[in-house]
Amino acid sequence: MPTALLFASEVGEAAAEQAAEKGISVNGPLVVASFDLFGITFNLTESIIVQWFVMLILLIVVLIISRNLKVVPETKRQAAAEMIVDFFRSTVDGTMGEKYPRHVPYFAALFSFIMLNNLMGLFGLRNPTADVSVTGAFAIITFCMVQYNKAKTGKFKGFMKSFVEPMPFMLPFNIIGEFANPLALTLRLFGNMVAGMVIGSLVYFALGHFAIGVPAVLSLYFDVFSAVMQAYIFMMLSMSYISSAECGDD
């Protein structure tokens, strides 16, 4: 084995051992409370509470920037709000086409919500998107919108026909493909956020007392740049899946 690879392997093993000795572990979200309803146990987890906090932040921001709007902008606040709206409108039009203006509010909310959830690590909170049930819920919403658009554009005949195109023997592959897209969306966002937490923790404990500056640089990438990019990628893939789900009824 080359010297560089051997050194990297030894450093990785040493970091993992040091992290284990100091108590680093990768666990699911903290369960704050549990209650039973109709024989089913429901858990109130850290991910849910943090998402409530994110929704509160978004609500406050929306109330502030949408207050006392004028036909002609007179404040920087309204100018900034219009820039945000124009950005999402142009993004949706450029990706999905001009036939989907009603989707602009949804994708603006989706991007903002995922991005703020990804950024919660900056405040010492666990990122809800590091919980596969959270990213899975986002992916299920996209999956439902894909199926709805397929049924709306192709009616019943076109919807059923889409599963056997271009040839009937493609039926099982098309069905697998329908479920592969939301699974990929789920694991892409979840994997990137968990990887960021794990790598940051391993590097921090591997450096020990020399952990000056490096964790901050990693945090700048994983907690800020990657957080924004992953939210943007999720939004763009969702738009692509939904717009490409159009089918004819002939």
Beta strands in the chain (DSSP E): 31-37, 40-45
Is 90 exceeded by the pLDDT of residue 35? no
* Average pLDDT estimate for 26-44: 76
Q: Is it the case that residue 58 has pLDDT exceeding 90?
A: yes
- Burial class of residue 179, CB neighbours in 10 A (0-12, 13-18, 19+): exposed
Identify the DSSP state of 41: E
Q: What is the pLDDT of residue 192?
A: 86
**What is the model's pTM?**
0.78
% of the chain residues with pLDDT over 70: 78
Tell me the pLDDT band of 158, cut-offs 50, 70 and 90: confident
What is the overall mean pLDDT for the chain? 79
Q: What is the pLDDT of residues 221-249, one digit of tens each?
A: 667 888 899 999 999 999 999 988 776 55
More confident residue, 176 or 23: 176
pLDDT at 213 over 60: no
Give the CA count within 13 Å in the CB-facing half-sphere of 40: 2
Q: Does residue 161 have a pLDDT over 50? A: yes
Range name among 21-30, 74-83, 117-126 with the lowest pLDDT average: 21-30
The burial of 235, by beta-carbon neighbours within 10 Å (0-12 exposed, 13-18 middle, 19 or more buried), is given as buried
Q: What is the pLDDT of residue 97?
A: 85
- How distant is the alpha carbon of residue 152 from its chain centre? 26
**Among 81, 76, 83, CA closest to 66:** 81
